[in-house]
């Protein structure tokens, strides 16, 4: 349906995401349908709202002025709809959650429980490495390690504290030996990890009040834990992981855990969101489920 509100939502989504494809995914429509929607709106207005090339999309001057005027009005309309929806006793509608990959794996069973319990609800769970502005990008909730939650957000602890794990393959250790302290680590065989902000991750160790940080100097730099795991299994060297990413491999003997007594814990995950005047029934129901899971301190699946 190509209604007036749909057209305005389409403009804001493209402006927010800077991409027709990404905006189409957010809106649950095809890129072609979205392009036609914008073309019809531009024809109606008699101006071009977006400058398009094969590589980029940007607002025209007229488009920027248009977005500046309609964004507050659309926020008011959205607020009015949330107010009405909050009066419903039956949770329904769409809940959008942005999470890191690891956090997404953790919360997925809870999401499935939520959907079974409330059949009129839908959940869009987006996992990505970068830390996004959930308000600007149209998400209801974010899920990240507690120390990464923006200070202006309301946060709920979710799940137990995590640990790091330093691992290598048995074959690699048989050839190169087993380091017993951080000082023993062969830095040129330690895979480097690039964080979502582009910085290189420093390996941090703690024991008995002593803290040691090292900079991996391996020839391989990666930003995805699954690829790093594959590389370590293949004998590429030593890797530094969130424990849950390699726990099965350690248990099966495919990887050997190193420096266990030096491995620090890391903050658990927190679900966070901005303050809302009129939260929907679905939003409140999901938070209630999260609080229940946190109170029981149990696995998310029920």
Q: What is the pLDDT of residues 68-110, one digit of tens each?
A: 999 888 888 877 776 665 555 688 889 999 998 888 988 999 9
**CA torsion angle 145 148 153 159 (round to 10):** 10
On whether both 156 and 166 belong to a single domain, the answer is: no
- Cα–Cα distance measured from residue 221 to residue 228, given in angstroms and rounded to the nearest whole number: 9
What per-residue confidence (pLDDT) applies to 83?
A: 67
Would the pLDDT of 224 be above 50? yes
On whether both 132 and 249 belong to a single domain, the answer is: no
Span 260-273, average pLDDT? 88
Total domains present in the chain: 3
- Cα–Cα distance measured from residue 143 to residue 273, given in angstroms and rounded to the nearest whole number: 9
On whether both 24 and 78 belong to a single domain, the answer is: yes
On whether both 169 and 192 belong to a single domain, the answer is: yes
On whether both 166 and 260 belong to a single domain, the answer is: yes
Would the pLDDT of 299 be above 60? no
Higher per-residue pLDDT: 233 or 302 = 233
Say what percent of the chain tops pLDDT 90: 52
On whether both 104 and 139 belong to a single domain, the answer is: yes
What per-residue confidence (pLDDT) applies to 85?
A: 58
On whether both 136 and 285 belong to a single domain, the answer is: yes
Higher per-residue pLDDT: 260 or 158 = 260
What per-residue confidence (pLDDT) applies to 130?
A: 80
Q: What is the CATH number of the domain that holds 56?
A: 1.10.10.10
Domain boundary among 39, 60, 86: 86
On whether both 49 and 117 belong to a single domain, the answer is: no
With a CB cutoff of 8 Å and minimum separation 6, the contacts of 146 are 155, 157, 267, 268, 269, 270
Domain boundary among 86, 106, 140: 86
What per-residue confidence (pLDDT) applies to 302?
A: 38
Question: Could you please report the per-residue DSSP string of 126-141?
Answer: EE-SS---TTTTT-SE
Q: What is the CATH number of the domain that holds 243?
A: 3.40.190.290
Span 137-160, average pLDDT? 88
What are the phi and psi torsion angles at 143 (to 5°)?
A: -140, 115
Span 159-181, average pLDDT? 92
Report if residue 302 sits inside a domain.
no
Helix (H, G, I), strand (E, B) or coil at 271: strand
What per-residue confidence (pLDDT) applies to 102?
A: 83
- For residue 40, what are the domain limits? 4-86
Report the interhelical angle of 61-86 vs 281-296 (nearest 10°): 70
**What residues are paired with 112 via a beta bridge?**
none
* Cα separations in angstroms, 16 against 26, 59, 123, 150, 273: 11, 10, 21, 20, 19
On whether both 258 and 166 belong to a single domain, the answer is: yes
Report if residue 169 sits inside a domain.
yes
Domain boundary among 31, 54, 86: 86
What per-residue confidence (pLDDT) applies to 230?
A: 96
pLDDT in tens, 2-49: 567 888 889 999 998 888 988 888 888 888 989 899 999 999 999 999
Would the pLDDT of 209 be above 70? yes
């Amino acid at each position: 349906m190509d209604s007036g509100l749909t057209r305005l939502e389409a403009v804001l989504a493209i402006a927010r995401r800077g991409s027709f494809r990404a905006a189409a995914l957010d809106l649950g429509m095809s890129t072609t349908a979205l392009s036609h929607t914008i073309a019809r709106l531009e024809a109606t207005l008699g101006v071009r709202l977006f400058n398009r090339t094969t590589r980029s999309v940007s607002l025209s001057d007229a488009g920027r002025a248009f977005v500046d005027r309609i964004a507050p009005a659309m926020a008011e309309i959205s607020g009015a709809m949330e107010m009405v929806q909050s009066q419903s006793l039956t949770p329904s509608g769409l809940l959008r959650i942005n999470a890191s990959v690891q956090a997404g794996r953790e919360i997925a069973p809870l999401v499935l429980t939520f959907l079974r319990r409330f059949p009129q609800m839908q959940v869009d769970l987006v996992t990505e490495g970068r830390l996004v502005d959930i308000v600007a990008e149209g998400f209801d909730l974010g899920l990240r390690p507690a120390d990464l939650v923006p200070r202006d957000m309301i946060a709920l602890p979710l799940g137990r504290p995590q640990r790091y794990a330093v691992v290598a393959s048995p074959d690699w250790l048989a050839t190169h030996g087993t380091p017993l302290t951080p000082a023993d680590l062969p830095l040129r065989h330690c895979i480097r990890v690039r964080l979502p902000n582009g910085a290189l991750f420093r390996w941090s160790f703690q024991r008995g009040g002593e803290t040691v940080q090292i900079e991996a100097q391996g020839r391989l730099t990666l930003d995805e834990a699954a690829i790093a795991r594959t590389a370590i299994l293949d004998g590429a060297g030593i890797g530094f992981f969130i424990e849950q990413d390699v726990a099965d491999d350690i248990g099966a003997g495919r990887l050997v855990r190193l420096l266990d007594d030096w491995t620090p814990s890391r903050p658990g995950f927190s679900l966070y969101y901005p303050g809302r005047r009129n939260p929907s029934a679905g939003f409140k129901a999901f938070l209630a489920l999260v609080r229940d899971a946190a109170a029981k301190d149990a696995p998310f699946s029920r």
